Amino acid sequence: MKIARGSIEKPILTWILILVMFFGGIASFFSLGRLEDPAFTIKTAVVYSSYPGASAEEVSVEVSEPLESAIQQLGEVDTITSINTPGASLLEIELDPKTGGDEVPAVWTELRAKVGEAAKFLPQGVEYTVVNDDFGDVFGIYFAVTAEGYSDAEKHDLARFLRRELLTVDGVANVDVAGLPQEAIYATPDMALTVNQNIPPGALEEAIAAADDITPAGTAGQTRFTVPEGSDTLEELSGLNVGISGEIVRLSDLVTLSRERIGDPTLLIRHNGTEAFTLGVAGLDTENIVEVGKRVEAHLTRIADQLPAGVELKPIYQQHRIVEAASNDFVVNLAMSVAIVLVVLALFMGVRAAVVVGATLLLTVLGTLVFMLPFGIEMERISLGALIIAMGMLVDNAIVVAEGMQTSMQRGMSSRDAADEAAQKTQIPLLGATVIGIVAFAPIGLSPDATGEFMFSLFAVITISLLLSWFLAITITPLLGHYFFKTNLDGTSESYDGPVFRAYAGLLKWASRWRWWVATALIGITVLCFYGFGQIKQQFFPNSSTPMFYVHYWKEQGTPIQETSADLDVLERWLDQQDSVEATTTFVGNGATRFMLNYTTQRENSAYGHMLVRTQTSEQIPALRDALQGFAAEALPDGDLRTVAMVFGTGGGNPIQLRISGPDGAVLRELAEQAEARMRQTTDQLTGISIDWRQREIVLRPDYAEDRAEAIGVTRRDIADSLNFASDGVISGVMREKDRQIPIYVRAPQDGSVALADALVYSQPLQAFVPIEQVIDGFTPIPQDTLIFRRNRQPTITLAAGVSQEASVADVQSQLDRAFADMPLPRGYAIEWGGEKEDSKEAQEGLIGQLPLALLTMIIITVMLFNALRQPLIIWLLVPMAVNGVTLGLLGTGLPFTFTALLGLLSLSGMLIKNGIVLVEEIDITRRDLPDLRDAIRQASISRMRPVVLAAATTILGMIPLLSDPFYISMAVTIMAGLAFATVLTLVAVPVFYELFFARDAKMQAQAATNATA
Question: What is the full DSSP assignment across 493-544?
Answer: --TT-SHHHHHHHHHHHHHHHTHHHHHHHHHHHHHHHHHHHTTS-B-SSPBP
Provide the pLDDT for residue 48.
92
CA separation, residue 646 to residues 37, 544, 596 (Å): 13, 5, 10
419-434 mean pLDDT: 83
Q: Bridge partners of 50? A: 88, 128
Residue 54 has pLDDT above 60, yes or no: yes
Lowest mean pLDDT among 239-248, 771-780, 984-993: 239-248
Out of 27-36, 631-640, 815-824, least confident range: 27-36
Q: Which of 521, 627, 543, 536 is closest to 581 using CA atoms?
A: 627
Indicate the Cα dihedral angle 885, 888, 893, 896, nearest 10°: 80
pLDDT in tens, 148-194: 989 998 999 999 999 999 999 999 999 999 999 999 988 888 877 77
Question: What's the rounded Cα separation, in Å, for the pair 645 and 655?
Answer: 11
Amino acid (1-letter code) at residue 130: V
CA 403 to chain centre: 43
> In sequence order, which residues have a C-beta less than 8 Å from that of residue 493 and are 6 or more positions away?
407, 410, 411, 412
- Provide the 10 A C-beta neighbour count for residue 1011: 8
Name the more confident of 699 and 966.
Answer: 699
759 confidence band (pLDDT: 50, 70, 90): confident
Question: Which residues have CB under 8 Å from 937's CB, separation 6+?
Answer: 508, 512, 923, 926, 991, 994, 995
> Average of pLDDT values for 886-911?
83
Model confidence at 574, pLDDT cuts 50, 70, 90, reads: very high
Burial of 1000 (C-beta count, 10 Å sphere; 0-12/13-18/19+): exposed
Q: Note the pLDDT of residue 215.
A: 67
Q: Which residues contact 105 (CB under 8 A, 6 or more apart)?
A: none
Spell out the SS3 assignment of 392-451: HHHHHHHHHHHHHHHHHHHCCCCHHHHHHHHHHHHHHHHHHHHHHHHHHHHHHHCCCCHH
Which band of pLDDT confidence, cut at 50, 70 and 90, is reported for residue 375? confident
Examine the pLDDT at 753 and tell me if it is beyond 70: no
Pairing of strands 44-50, 128-132: antiparallel
Q: For the chain, what's the residue count?
A: 1014
At residue 1013, does pLDDT exceed 60?
Answer: no
Q: What angle do CA 620, 625, 630 make, to 5 degrees?
A: 135
Q: How far apart are CA 939 and CA 282, in angstroms?
A: 62
Q: Determine contact, residues 390/336, Cβ cutoff 8 Å.
A: no
Q: For residue range 208-251, list pLDDT tens digits in order.
A: 776 666 667 677 767 776 666 656 677 767 767 676 666 777 77
How far apart CA 729 and CA 229 sit, in angstroms, is 27
- Ranking 172-176, 200-204, 419-423, 650-654 by mean pLDDT, the lowest is 650-654
Average pLDDT over residues 469-494: 80
Give the count of alpha carbons within 13 A of 342, CB side only: 13
- Residue 746's pLDDT is 87
What order of strands is seen across the sheet that includes strand 274-275?
274-275, 268-271, 581-588, 608-615, 548-554, 640-645
691, β-bridge pairs: 799
Q: What pLDDT does 497 receive?
A: 66
Of residues 802 and 279, which shows the higher confidence score?
279
Flag the least confident range among 482-491, 582-591, 770-779: 482-491
What integer pLDDT is reported at residue 245 of this predicted model?
A: 65
**pLDDT exceeds 80 at position 573:** yes
Mean pLDDT over residues 539-548, rounded?
76
- Asked if residue 23 has pLDDT above 90, the reply is yes
For 202-217, b where at least 16 C-beta lie within 10 A, e where not — what string?
ebbbebbbebbeeeee
Nearest to 211 by CA among 238, 244, 237, 245: 237
Taking the alpha carbons of 912, 913, 918, 924 in that order, is the dihedral positive or negative? positive
Through-space distance between the first and last CA atoms of the chain, rounded to whole angstroms: 43
The model's confidence at residue 344, banded by pLDDT at 50, 70 and 90, is confident
Confidence class for position 587, pLDDT limits 50, 70, 90? very high
Residue-wise pLDDT for 661-697, tens only, equals: 999 989 999 999 999 999 999 998 888 888 888 888 8
Assign 752 a pLDDT band (cuts: 50, 70, 90).
Answer: low
pLDDT over threshold 60, residue 652: no
* Poorest-pLDDT segment among 79-88, 228-237, 307-316: 228-237
pLDDT score for 135: 67
Q: How confident is the model at residue 47 (pLDDT cuts 50, 70, 90)?
A: very high
Q: Tell me which amino acid residue 690 is.
A: S
pLDDT of residue 831: 92
> For position 558, what pLDDT does the model report?
87
Cα 209 to Cα 732: distance, rounded to the nearest angstrom: 5
Q: Considering only 3-7, 591-595, 824-828, 846-850, which range has the smallest mean pLDDT?
A: 846-850
> Three-state SS across 761-794?
EEECCCCEEEEHHHCEEEEEEEEECCCEEEECCE
Residue range 945-957, pLDDT digits in tens: 877 887 788 778 8
> How many helices and strands, by DSSP H and E, does the chain display?
33, 31
pTM score, two decimals?
0.81
Q: Find residue 658's DSSP bridge partners.
A: 799, 833
Residue of 407, 402, 399, 401 lying closest to 497 (CA atoms):
407
Pair 423, 408: CB distance under 8 Å = no
Looking at residue 82, what is its pLDDT?
93
Distance CA 498, CA 139 (A): 61
pLDDT score recorded for residue 1012: 56
Amino acid 679: pLDDT: 92
For residue 244, what pLDDT is reported?
67
> Which pLDDT score, from 0 to 100, does residue 534 have?
80
Residues 6+ positions from 20 with CB-CB distance below 8 Å: 370
Q: Over range 497-504, report the average pLDDT.
A: 76
Q: Render pLDDT for 591-605 as a digit per residue (tens, 0 to 9).
A: 999 888 778 777 889
Mean pLDDT, the chain, rounded, equals 84
Task: Please report which confidence band the pLDDT of residue 628 belongs to, taking 50, 70 and 90 as the band edges.
Answer: very high
pLDDT confidence of residue 160: 93
- Residue 294, SS3 per DSSP: helix
User: Tell me, what's the pLDDT at 997?
Assistant: 84
Angle between helices 870-878 and 990-1013 (to 10 degrees): 160
The more confident residue out of 852 and 55 is: 55
pLDDT grade for 975, boundaries at 50, 70 and 90: confident
